[in-house]
Amino acid sequence: MRYAVLFPGQGSQRVGMGADLFDARPDRLVDASDRVLGWSLREVCLDGPEEKLTATEHAQPALYALAYQLWTELSERVGGPPAAAAGHSLGEYTALAAAGAFSFETGLGLVDRRARAMADAVARVGSGMAALLGVSDEVARQVASDRRREGGRLWVANLNAPGQVVAAGALDDIGWLVGNARDLGIRRAIQLDVAGAFHTPLMEPAVSRLADALAGVGIRPLAFPVWANVTARPMAGSQVKEMLSRQITAPVRFGETLRGMADAGVDTFVHVGPGDVTAGLARRAARGCRVLVASSIAEVEEVADRLGRS
């Protein structure tokens, strides 16, 4: 049995998440996190309100912190390291911290600066994202390319799984896409409730700020392979900073990553963190593989037991 761990990105947050973790590890999820962030992680996660938790500058650090702590709980219960790891967008930071590239606190500081830089970039132009259902990667790319040739601002942002693509761009272009989906060869387009056009050139203002934050961070050797969103391949330690910088404006190639892991011998995927989004993507992109979910301490114990019996 070769298992890979998958960490979620922004969008998996919900008010009330992590109550068991805050009770189990207040030293890390209260003391350390509040010191790094300057605001109460516990209060925002447990009390919200939803609008506050959903804000990019709160959602990203919160998801990173909770997913990392769930990984810590899992790794303490499972004997050996995973065969590989990956994270969807923000989750790539969690995967790298889990692999030992940097400490939890260092990663939380990076995520905090990333989130604030992205929020500021979003504020510069009205933008959004739309989920495209029943469309191939190639058709989605062509639709976006054709729109840009006509003067629009539209890109493919996430290649998540077969038939599941996310496009992003200016609000006018997202509205056009949703309204004309069937005529464009897309079964359905659904505008997402997200702050802006992540993983597109509209996020370019955030790149230099993240690069400045990364410049002062030392990257340690990875304990296991972490697959990059940008390349859909394992990254070397020397590539970590480049991959994280490029990730801000480049599409997330998650479906390709999952298929590549399966081709490399991974037969079990474990979603580690709030929600279960990456588990659903693994079921679609790596059919035939076992998929498990660890979104609470109780589920961590179940997953550890199942991995131990494999």
Span 184-204, pLDDT tens digits: 999 999 999 887 999 999 999
CB 117, CB 206: distance < 8 Å: yes
pLDDT band for 113, please (50, 70, 90 cuts). Answer: very high
Which residue matches tokens 């900073």?
A: 241
Q: How many CA atoms lie within 13 A of 143 on its CB side?
A: 27
User: d(Cα 230, Cα 244) in Å, to the nearest integer?
Assistant: 9
CB 243, CB 229: distance < 8 Å: yes
Q: What is the pLDDT of residue 182?
A: 96
**58 catalytic per annotation:** no
Which residue matches tokens 């994270």?
A: 87
Rounded to an integer, what is the distance from CA 74 to the centroid of its chain? 19
For residue 181, is pLDDT > 80?
A: yes
User: What backbone torsions phi and psi does residue 150 show, to the nearest 5 degrees?
Assistant: -90, 5
For residue 169, is pLDDT > 70?
A: yes
User: d(Cα 74, Cα 309) in Å, to the nearest integer?
Assistant: 15
| Catalytic annotation, pick one of 33, 89, 295, 296 | 89
- Mean of all residue pLDDT scores within the chain: 95
Q: Averaged over 31-40, what is the pLDDT? A: 93
The crossing angle, in degrees rounded to 10, of helices 91-98 and 240-247 is: 170
| Catalytic annotation, pick one of 12, 33, 127, 199 | 199
For residue 310, is pLDDT > 60?
A: no
For residue 142, is pLDDT > 70?
A: yes
pLDDT band for 79, please (50, 70, 90 cuts). Answer: confident
Q: What is the pLDDT of residue 202?
A: 96
Q: Averaged over 66-75, what is the pLDDT? A: 96
Query: What is the pairing mode between strands 268-272 and 3-7?
Result: parallel
User: CB under 8 Å to 154, separation ≥6 — which residues?
Assistant: 143, 144, 147, 148, 167, 168, 169, 170, 173, 174, 177
**89 catalytic per annotation:** yes
- What 3-state class would DSSP assign to 84? strand
For the entire predicted model, the pTM comes to: 0.96
